[in-house]
Structure 1
Amino acid sequence: MDFTFNEDQQALRDSVSRFLMVEAAPEKLREIWQTDAGRSSELRAKLAEQGLTAMSVPESLGGLGLGDMDWSLMNQELGYFGIPDSLADTAYLACALLAALPPTHALRATWLPQIADGSARIALGHPVNPWVADAHLADLLLLAHPTPHGTQWHALTLDQVKHTPCASIDSSRRLATVEWTPTPQTLIAQDAQGQALADDLLDRGALCASAQLLGLAQRMLDLTVDYAAQRKQFGKPIGAFQAVKHQLADVVTKIEFAKPVLYRAASAMSQSEAQRSVRISHAKLACADAGWFSARKAIQIHGAMGYTWEVDLQMFMKRAWVLDAAWGDRGFHKHRLSHALLADDALLGPGATFVTNP
């Protein structure tokens, strides 16, 4: 199995990184987050021009037709630059859910082209997440309704729901509780099909959060390395002290060990492997641990000033904390992982790493 990203994938990642370095600088994000909406239509339009909103849309509907492996790279960049999660919610998660509907379903032809050109914002409600992100700006809400026979999915517009804002420690997040009533007119999938969509969305959402956490871990490490090179004590940069070097090296180790776990999970998702949920839970735990550890060491080296609004670190640190619990907290993913590992027929050991569909 080859985990090497091809030249096109690396070129796309590098071009997006250069674009975000200019268009999503921390000072610009602060200005956006202090607005009432917390979002910038201008930034979204520029992201669409870069092709990010069209990545997962099928080529027949105006998209690029890219998959989970490509998004494992892009979501790291979105995490690294602190881009609000509504972009991935629409362009990656909602797009995959709509694309999984029957080819003749009206929602596919209506909304996928709008996702591709960046004109649509879609909010997602899943039982694993108690709040809905960006509900206040959504052109369409795709909401799950659990039933004894499986999960129903309903498509609603903003005037069909009541949303109440919820505060978050992360200024980039716009969360809300959403009250709504399922009706036959809003129903788009149910029973086994609806449950399959819910399971697929949960796995893909956890994979998305994992990649963003890894990007956040790397950004916090880079910020801390820069700070350690500039901050001086006893006439020399604090980065010259062995104790600081060791802590930064520990963060690098966490990040590098999490990367192959993430890419293996993305491969499992793209190939619809039978054990993909186990791989993804492993990735969420590894990437969440890397994000949490990087934040802890960064705030330790920055000192208390790292938590203040003026310092960039707090933007990425707080986001890592909230993504730690998004799309299933650690307890949820540990339960899924332990259930698979302790099963009588569990495939364990190095020889089982690349087994796809046992």
Structure 2
Amino acid sequence: MERAEGAAAGRFDTELWSGLSGDFAAPALAVPEALGGVGATFAETAVVVEELGAALATVPFLGTVAATEALLAADGCDVAAKWISRIAAGDATATVIFDPVLIGDDAFVDDSAPFAAYKSASGWSLSGSAEFVIDGATADLILIPVRDDSGCTLYAVEGEHVRRTPMNTVDLTRPLAAVTLENSPAEIIGKIGEAENLLARTRDMALLAIGCEQLGQSKTTLNMAVRYARERIQFGRPIGSFQAIKHKLAEVAVAVQSAESAVEHGIWAAAEGSAEELSRAASMVAVVCGPAAVLAAAECIQVHGGIGFTWEHPAHLYYRRALSSEGLMGRPEHHAERLLELALA
């Protein structure tokens, strides 16, 4: 349970991250070569995200992927020029606060805005707080969307100007933190009040990345359950030969195949589709992949029986991650409504 204890304290696996960001160059995959990256596409990044999800790896990759997409979409601004090459080289990590502004929740109102921006002679500053920030305890750069009378604006705040508190959550393998800003110096990404398209792209790519994680988890827990069903003997037969177990695993297999199809379509939309196609694909990923991960993890525990409920068995870690990820950027029901709206539009 070392990784669980590290995540609860806001730490990540520095050895694994060093390998990923070093010779493997994972943070640089989707970054153009001109900016110090590998020049690949999100398809290559998706493979890494899926494998990290399958292993429940405690590394700051998900937040960094989302932040990198935002910076790339705002290519040309000072913040992007300053940070993209550092992130690609593995010298810095970043994250995005996934609050209602980014998710696109219509229930969000200005009076409940978690952050407020102020302009002074020395520049912009932000005040406010948010919880459940992915890698918020360690990120060197935090991107924060703020909504005001002029619209939405995306700001960048360096980690040294943020007060962070690691959170104890149901997911024992993903470091989450509460962050507080008090007149913290900030820089604008893009133009004031013109961040809607940038935020939409960031939101959709983050949903797609989470879906890749969930797919990796779903495949792992399905394989784990199938393997155990073949090996566990009861009444002189493998339990996988019993109809009740067969039905459970078949239902999970269908859900995992649906999730894989949704992710593959999302990867295509990210590379070749329009902004509208990407939004529809991202919502579909959120609708399908979250429930698939929860179902696969829950049935994995059931197939394992008594041992599946123990602290020593990893099944509960996958179940915790699945529950947490499913609501990380809005519930599947929210995205189903959004998908309907996009289809009707």
TM-score after normalising by structure 1: 0.80
Alignment of structure 1 residues 51-130 onto 2, 5 Å: 51-84=25-58, 86-90=60-64, 92-103=65-76, 105-128=77-100
Does the CA-based 8 Å contact 2:152-2:195 persist in structure 1?
Answer: yes
Does the CA-based 8 Å contact 2:287-2:332 persist in structure 1?
Answer: yes
What percentage of aligned pairs have identical amino acids? 29
Q: What residue is the counterpart of 1:188 in the other structure? A: 189
Q: What residue is the counterpart of 2:117 in the other structure? A: none
Structure 1 unmatched runs, 5+: 1-29, 347-358
Instruction: Name the amino acid aligned to 1:162.
Output: R
Does the CA-based 8 Å contact 2:16-2:59 persist in structure 1?
Answer: no
Does the CA-based 8 Å contact 1:120-1:139 persist in structure 2?
Answer: yes
Distance (Å, rounded) in 2 between the aligned partners of 1:218 and 1:300 = 16
Q: Shift of residue 202 of structure 1?
A: 0.8
Moved more, 308-317 or 183-192: 183-192
Instruction: Call closer, same or farther: CA 1:150–1:181 in 2, change over 3 Å.
Output: farther
Q: Shift of residue 293 of structure 1?
A: 1.6
Instruction: Call closer, same or farther: CA 1:149–1:287 in 2, change over 3 Å.
Output: same
Q: What residue is the counterpart of 1:339 in the other structure? A: 341
Structure 2 unmatched runs, 5+: 104-130
Instruction: Call closer, same or farther: CA 1:156–1:174 in 2, change over 3 Å.
Output: same
Count of aligned pairs = 312
Greater strand fraction, Structure 1 or Structure 2: 2
Distance (Å, rounded) in 1 between the aligned partners of 2:146 and 2:296 = 37
Distance (Å, rounded) in 2 between the aligned partners of 1:31 and 1:275 = 41
Instruction: Name the amino acid aligned to 1:95.
Output: T
Q: Look up the SS of the partner of 2:194 in the other structure.
A: helix
Does the CA-based 8 Å contact 1:101-1:108 persist in structure 2?
Answer: yes
Q: Look up the SS of the partner of 1:136 in the other structure.
A: coil
Q: Shift of residue 156 of structure 1?
A: 1.4
Instruction: Name the amino acid aligned to 1:215.
Output: G
Q: Look up the SS of the partner of 1:178 in the other structure.
A: strand
Does the CA-based 8 Å contact 1:209-1:327 persist in structure 2?
Answer: no
RMSD: 2.1
Are residues 1:324 and 2:326 paired? yes
Q: Shift of residue 260 of structure 1?
A: 1.9
Does the CA-based 8 Å contact 2:10-2:166 persist in structure 1?
Answer: no
Q: What residue is the counterpart of 1:33 in the other structure? A: 4
Alignment of structure 1 residues 156-195 onto 2, 5 Å: 156-181=157-182, 185-195=186-196
TM-score after normalising by structure 2: 0.83
Q: Which has the higher contact order (CA 8 A, sep 6+)?
A: 2
Moved more, 316-325 or 144-153: 144-153
Q: Look up the SS of the partner of 1:177 in the other structure.
A: strand
Instruction: Call closer, same or farther: CA 1:309–1:337 in 2, change over 3 Å.
Output: same
Q: What residue is the counterpart of 1:352 in the other structure? A: none
Instruction: Call closer, same or farther: CA 1:185–1:314 in 2, change over 3 Å.
Output: closer
Q: Look up the SS of the partner of 1:186 in the other structure.
A: strand
